[in-house]
């Protein structure tokens, strides 16, 4: 257990972040890109120290999991450097004065985005690199020009402290202002920071109860702030009769591998599998899970929560066990359960909500109409997947709006546990997947959470921010008088 940050140190960190806000926002995109690349280089250089420490604190395998996750983390830091170099993220827009504008004479108006201010990031437990100290929230906030105060997760305190030191020293060494980044610890200290008026936005990855409590605090402040929480997701998978006929065994094996990956501790774990009645995959699924090794969970608290939720699931009338093996906390073997569509509709929140860990629930449907009723009652989430054949197009097409309504990313014949970092990625969805469904926490668009637009009307060119000056000194992509 990490030692909580004392009050004097917390005040120093918050004051430092506030002092760094103006120079960080004023830095050029090229300067901020150098900061991010320096942090990535420093983390890569420290891999031999970081990966073993992460393994010791989280029970996750050093290779390929943690080594690969560290590479993902440094990749996304460098990718945000490319976002800065590209410049489109600023949304620079110029409307010259126009006396003949149809709405009446138009003044000169120029719009650009700027850093929102110091950001408080709550690190996640299940990805000790990619969603933690130097993860996507930190990378996107720094890219936007925002100082970051990082609230470490208690599940990996030593790793958080070491990663924080490496990142801070690299950023400042590359020219970032002192106060650009620091790490704090302690639950109450995180709440204190969230309430502090110097914090302009916050982000969080974790449980629904914890995230909702912080979201409510952020909104109850005298001046509420944006709170970008990623909370929970059941990630339904729909399989059609044609897909089963064409490749049922492959679908079953793929599903088993996806929901058990990392002991089921991924936010994109497929928790519900919708199969047609008389699907014939039960024995194939059992075989795919037979002999699966017990995997340790991240910590005792998560293991306890999983054990309690699984026990409640098994008690729901009409829920049967398809496959399980004896296991002992904190390591668990997979559990696969099954129920009918009718019983799912009657089972309430226990069967509709996420069970974080290596368990999943099969739900059978009689026809398309029943499938649509089932999709209508489940909680929205991050992803929704459909396994079908192109010959199924007429049957599938009416199902797609129901999937789009409940998820931010739709997958065709794939598995949701792969979340690449790219320009087009969307990792968000309607509540409770996220508290801000118009945003993403993965991919280059994540920077948009920590920017706010300002319009400059009638200013002389010399007083305008560089992205809006007539000569466009940063050579940004811009929309001018309605044209790109």
Kindly name the residue from 267, 353, 354, 370 that is annotated as catalytic: 267
CB 77 within 8 A of CB 139: yes
Asked if 441 contacts 136 with a C-beta cutoff of 8 angstroms, the reply is yes
Return d(Cα 465, Cα 245) in angstroms, integer.
61
The percent of the chain in helix, strand and coil, each rounded to the nearest 5, is 45, 20, 35
Pairing outcome for strands 331-332 and 181-184: unpaired
Cα gap 299→155, rounded to integer Å: 7
Give CA–CA dist 413/243, Å, rounded. Answer: 9
Distance, CA of 343 to CA of 374 (rounded, Å): 10
Q: Residue 111 has which token pair?
A: 């719009």
Catalytic site includes residue 230: yes
Catalytic residue among 69, 230, 353, 354: 230
* Contact between residue 264 and residue 300 where contact means Cβ atoms under 8 Å apart: no
User: 332 has which bridge partners?
Assistant: 295
Query: Which of 14, 333, 304 shows the shortest CA–CA distance to 183?
Result: 14
Question: Are residues 469 and 90 in contact, defined by beta-carbon separation less than 8 angstroms?
Answer: no
Alpha carbons 71 and 130: distance in angstroms, whole number: 9
Contact 383, 416 (CB under 8 A): yes
> Nearest CA to 123 among 109, 106, 135, 141?
135
Residue in this structure with the two tokens 């396994």, named with its chain if needed: 387
> Are 84 and 29 within 8 A, CB to CB?
yes
Q: What are phi and psi of 275, to 5 degrees?
A: -120, 145
Closest CA relative to residue 108, chosen from 409, 342, 455: 455
Active site residue 389: no
Catalytic machinery residues? 230, 267
């Amino acid at each position: 257990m990490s030692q909580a940050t004392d009050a004097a140190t917390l005040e120093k960190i918050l004051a430092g972040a506030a002092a760094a806000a103006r120079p960080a926002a004023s830095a050029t995109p090229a300067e901020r890109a150098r900061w991010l690349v320096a942090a990535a280089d420093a983390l890569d250089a420290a891999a031999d120290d970081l990966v073993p420490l992460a393994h010791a604190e989280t029970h996750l395998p050093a290779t390929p999991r943690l080594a690969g996750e560290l590479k993902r983390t440094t990749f996304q830091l460098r990718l945000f450097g490319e976002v800065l170099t590209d410049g489109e993220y600023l949304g620079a827009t110029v409307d010259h004065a126009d006396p003949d504008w149809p709405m009446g004479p138009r003044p000169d108006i120029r719009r650009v985005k700027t850093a929102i201010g110091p950001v408080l990031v709550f690190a996640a437990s299940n990805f000790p690199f990619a969603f933690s100290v130097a993860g996507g929230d930190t990378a996107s906030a720094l890219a936007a020009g925002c100082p970051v105060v990082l609230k470490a997760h208690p599940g990996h305190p030593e790793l958080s402290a070491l990663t924080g030191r490496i990142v801070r020293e690299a950023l400042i060494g590359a020219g970032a202002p002192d106060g650009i980044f620091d790490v704090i610890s302690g639950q109450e200290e995180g709440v204190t920071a969230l309430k502090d008026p110097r914090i302009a936005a916050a982000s969080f990855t974790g449980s629904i109860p914890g995230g909702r409590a912080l979201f409510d605090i952020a909104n109850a402040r005298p001046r509420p702030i944006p709170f970008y929480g990623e909370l929970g997701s059941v990630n339904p998978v729909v399989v059609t009769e044609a897909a089963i006929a064409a490749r049922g065994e492959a679908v079953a094996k793929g599903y088993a591998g996806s929901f058990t990956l990392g002991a089921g501790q991924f936010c994109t774990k497929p928790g519900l599998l919708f199969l047609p009645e008389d699907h014939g995959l039960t024995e194939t699924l059992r075989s795919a899970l037979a002999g699966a090794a017990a995997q340790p969970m991240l910590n005792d608290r998560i293991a306890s929560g999983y054990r309690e939720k699984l026990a409640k699931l098994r008690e729901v009338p009409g829920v049967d066990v398809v496959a399980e093996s004896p296991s002992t906390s904190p390591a668990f073997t997979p559990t696969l359960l099954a129920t009918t569509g009718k019983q799912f509709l009657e089972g309430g929140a226990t069967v509709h909500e996420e069970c974080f860990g290596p368990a999943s629930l099969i739900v059978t449907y009689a026809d398309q109409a029943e499938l649509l009723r089932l999709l209508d009652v489940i909680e929205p989430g991050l992803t929704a997947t459909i396994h079908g054949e192109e010959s199924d197009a007429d049957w599938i097409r009416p199902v797609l709006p129901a999937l789009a309504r409940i998820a931010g990313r739709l997958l065709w014949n794939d598995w949701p546990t792969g979340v690449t970092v790219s320009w087009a990625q969307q990792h968000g969805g309607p509540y409770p997947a996220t508290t801000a469904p118009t945003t993403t926490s993965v991919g280059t668009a994540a920077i948009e959470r920590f920017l706010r637009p300002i319009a400059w009307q009638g200013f002389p060119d010399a007083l305008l921010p560089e992205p809006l000056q007539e000569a466009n000194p940063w050579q940004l992509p811009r929309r001018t008088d309605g044209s790109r």
